[in-house]
Structure 1
Amino acid sequence: MKEIISPMLALALTASAAFAGGPVVVEEEPVVEAAAPRSGWIVPVVVGLVVLCAIACGNDDDATTGTTGTTTPG
């Protein structure tokens, strides 16, 4: 009886280990590309306008030379 059970048990253990996990199926995922933005020019134009405004407006504090308006006694 032991002579029959040992080979059958070894075959059962080997066969189950060989098919463990099942078949491996590899699927390629589709490539998803983003659509080109239609308003891609808006941000550079707005940034350019802000820079031009900052240059044109400039600094209006040319009259101040560091004096605080104190009078000297005398």
Structure 2
Amino acid sequence: MKKLAIFTTVLFSSSQVFAGNLVEPMMEPEVVEAATGSSGGAMLVPILLIVLMAAVIASGGGDNAPLPANGAVN
């Protein structure tokens, strides 16, 4: 019985180790963060500035009194 135990121990310890087939490594997916802001907000400030400047230009020059109808200068 001892010889059988020694034989099986030697037989299994001297056999080749089978690790399995070659498998492609598991790659973690690349994490891409989406932008949280929108591009519409970036255009809001310049458009408001243009409207404000147009309003100032259109209403400017009101300090001078108009000339009288007969052309007399004070």
TM-score, normalised to structure 2, is 0.34
Q: Which has the larger radius of gyration?
A: 2
